[in-house]
Homo-oligomer: A and B are copies of this chain.
Amino acid sequence: MPSITIHDVADYAGVSRATVSRVLNNNPAVDQALRLRVEDAIQALGYQPNRTARRLRAQSSNVIGLIISDIRNPYFLSIIQGVEDVAYAHQMSLILCNSDEDPTKEQMYLRVMEAEHVAGLIMVPSQSSEEQQLSRLKKIGIPVILLDRVADDFEVDAVKVDNERGAADAVRHLIALGYRRIATITGPVHLTTGRERYTGYRSALEANGLAYDEALVKIGNFKTESGYQLTRELLAMAEPPDAIFVSNNMMTLGALRALREQEIRVPQEMALVGFDDMPWSGDLYSPLTVVSQPTYELGQEATNLLLRRLADPGLPFRTVILQTRLIVRESCGAKLRS
């Protein structure tokens, strides 16, 4: 119960606490014989330095904060794992928070991170207008890395994916397959992900001489239910689309569900391309053609960026943009038409 402190080790080895500390921190100015004696004592007592005390003294911790916007979304799983793996390799722990897309909760967690004196923070912001909070954190000296949803011009480190190009790839693919009436279900415009994927959709249409039709654009909230509803709306149109590009994984599931419910064959009667791959995307009712994000790498990259900044706070800010990859399965109809 009363855990062993540096004091106990010092007593056991018959030296001062300072010496034990020096041994722990590999300070060369300690005699070999003493060092061994101290190390024996540490072994014998099973001593483990108290991280809290260390942190207090050092005014810095080896804890990374990670704020996710929706932990129920499997998209974040490999991201978390990417972060965790890199953090683990650098002996850092992870505090995980789930803002649940709720700005209040997010704000509260930001304060927790501050009080917790985490070394740095990786976050998927729930809303774009959090700049004041971020600048507040920056003022305290906690480095922040933004993930996934990132305005390019804001002066922080950030990691994201080339959303516009990814979306354009998907839509271009549909066009190449011969679809002409391509709808999109996209995300909220106040999130860069929603905006950029929409832009990609639109630019691909225009680059290929297809008319842009406002009626074919539905704005969802990245949740399954919204994908389901909006797909039904599209199906109810007088002149429904022949293909849908859905800009995230959960809404794609919703779309698929709506289509199946109405017994619309995918891709024969409606082609579908989604955003975000999942390990089971190929096992779905209709194996999904998707724009795949390198999620694990996103997590890794974010953590690397953070470690880099911790090592050298003076570096210029950087936004790392990773590329997506179009994975062609069956929901787009490529196999049918080729």
- A105: chain B residues within 8 A (beta carbon): 88
Instruction: Say if the beta carbon of A1 comes within 8 Å of chain B.
Output: yes
- A51: chain B residues within 8 A (beta carbon): 112, 115-117
In the complex the two chains form, what is the Cα distance from A109 to B55 in whole Å?
18
Q: Give the contact stretch, choosing among A69-77, A124-132, A173-181, A304-312.
A: A69-77
Question: Is the pair A72, B77 in contact by a Cβ cutoff of 8 Å?
Answer: yes
Instruction: Say if the beta carbon of A221 comes within 8 Å of chain B.
Output: no
Question: Is the pair A52, B48 in contact by a Cβ cutoff of 8 Å?
Answer: no
User: A63-122: which have CB < 8 Å to B?
Assistant: 63, 66, 71-72, 74, 77-78, 80-81, 84, 88, 93-98, 105, 111-112, 114-117
Distance in angstroms from A110 CB to nearest chain B CB is 11
In the complex the two chains form, what is the Cα distance from A49 to B84 in whole Å?
28
| Nearest neighbor of A78 in chain B, beta-carbon distance | B72
Query: What number of copies of this chain does the assembly contain?
Result: 2
- A96: chain B residues within 8 A (beta carbon): 66, 80, 84, 94-96
Instruction: Say if the beta carbon of A257 comes within 8 Å of chain B.
Output: yes
Question: Is the pair A98, B84 in contact by a Cβ cutoff of 8 Å?
Answer: yes
Pick the residue among B1, B88, B284 that contacts A285 (CB under 8 A): B284
A279/B224 contact (C-beta < 8 A), A50-B117, A139-B1 known: yes
Instruction: Say if the beta carbon of A27 comes within 8 Å of chain B.
Output: no
Question: Is the pair B98, A95 in contact by a Cβ cutoff of 8 Å?
Answer: no
In the complex the two chains form, what is the Cα distance from A116 to B117 in whole Å?
14
- A7: chain B residues within 8 A (beta carbon): none
Instruction: Say if the beta carbon of A56 comes within 8 Å of chain B.
Output: yes
Distance in angstroms from A297 CB to nearest chain B CB is 15
Instruction: Say if the beta carbon of A283 comes within 8 Å of chain B.
Output: yes
In the complex the two chains form, what is the Cα distance from A284 to B71 in whole Å?
22
What are the 5 closest A-B residue pairs judged by CB atoms, nearest first?
A96-B96, A51-B115, A1-B141, A52-B55, A52-B56
